[in-house]
């Protein structure tokens, strides 16, 4: 898969297997915080963000790093590469088109699992991501509603109510998740051309994001990081306009 090849190429170019420095962005929350979400999902943990580490990463914009995430009495280690993304144009019903430059976006794999896919979107005040693999399924990392806590859970184990996730209308999932099968079962798609797309965001998402244009733009950028990564692994480049 292309992302796994990118990871291997980066290590070769750096000339060493430990080319990815390790960052500590999250620690597992104490037991009483875990209990708050026991009715929301059966497989997952509550994490606490290291804000100093986030601030440092947002400033340095590292080209690559390794991240350890606690999950189900163990850890998931991921290796990530930064994704180049241009400034985007945003238009609302009350303002003219404006240029936005928000976030740092990464894609990668679970360490040692070349068939996995990982995305991570970094903003100055929050983080969002998805880990996907044939063995683990889709695991979502998202900020909890009205809290500084993060939930890191298997989407397959999620129960009826999506309302515990920050800024998510209750009738919608937080982000698209990856299919367990490739888009093209018989042959891969390969093209050097880039597809430029745009999104229209409904008013309920805008309201769920605190009626903030910036937070709504951050959310859709994180969504796009997931979507573009999915297509990238199938040989198709998708740019946000």
φ, ψ for residue 33, nearest 5 deg: -75, -35
What sign for the dihedral angle of Cα 11, 77, 240, 125? negative
Model confidence over 83-131: pLDDT tens digits?
987 777 888 887 767 777 779 999 999 999 999 999 999 998 899 999 9
CA-CA distance, 182 to 219, in Å (whole number)?
25
Residue 167 in this model has a pLDDT that exceeds 70: no
Nearest C-alpha neighbor of 201 from the set 232, 172, 158, 238:
172
Read off the pLDDT band of 47 (50, 70, 90): very high
pTM of the model: 0.85
Q: Is the pLDDT at 181 greater than 50, yes or no?
A: no
Look at residue 99 in the predicted model and tell me its pLDDT. 75
CB 77 within 8 A of CB 111: yes
**Are 221 and 88 a contacting pair, CB within 8 Å?**
yes
At 172 the pLDDT is: 38
Q: Are β-strands 194-197 and 149-154 bridged in parallel, bridged antiparallel, or unpaired?
A: unpaired
């Amino acid at each position: 898969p292309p992302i796994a090849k990118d990871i291997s190429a980066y290590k070769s170019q750096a000339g060493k297997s430990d080319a990815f420095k390790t960052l500590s962005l999250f620690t597992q929350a104490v037991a009483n915080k875990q209990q708050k979400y026991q009715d929301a999902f059966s497989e997952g943990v509550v994490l606490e963000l290291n804000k100093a580490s986030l601030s440092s990463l947002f400033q340095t914009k590292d080209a690559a790093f390794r991240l350890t995430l606690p999950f189900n009495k163990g850890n998931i280690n991921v290796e990530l590469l930064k994704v180049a993304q241009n400034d985007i144009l945003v238009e609302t019903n009350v303002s003219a088109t404006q240029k936005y430059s928000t976030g740092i976006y990464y894609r990668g794999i679970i360490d040692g699992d070349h068939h996995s896919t990982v995305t991570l979107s970094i903003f100055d005040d929050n983080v969002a991501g998805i880990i996907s693999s044939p063995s683990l399924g889709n695991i979502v990392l998202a900020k909890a509603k009205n809290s500084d806590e993060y939930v890191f859970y298997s989407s397959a184990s999620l129960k009826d109510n999506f309302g515990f996730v920050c800024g998510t209308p209750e009738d919608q999932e937080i982000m698209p998740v990856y299919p367990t099968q490739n888009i093209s079962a018989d042959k891969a798609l390969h093209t050097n051309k880039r597809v430029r797309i745009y999104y229209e965001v409904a008013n309920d998402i805008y309201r769920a994001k605190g009626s903030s244009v910036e937070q709504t733009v951050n959310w859709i950028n994180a969504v796009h990081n997931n979507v573009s990564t999915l297509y990238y692994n199938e040989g198709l480049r998708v740019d946000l306009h």
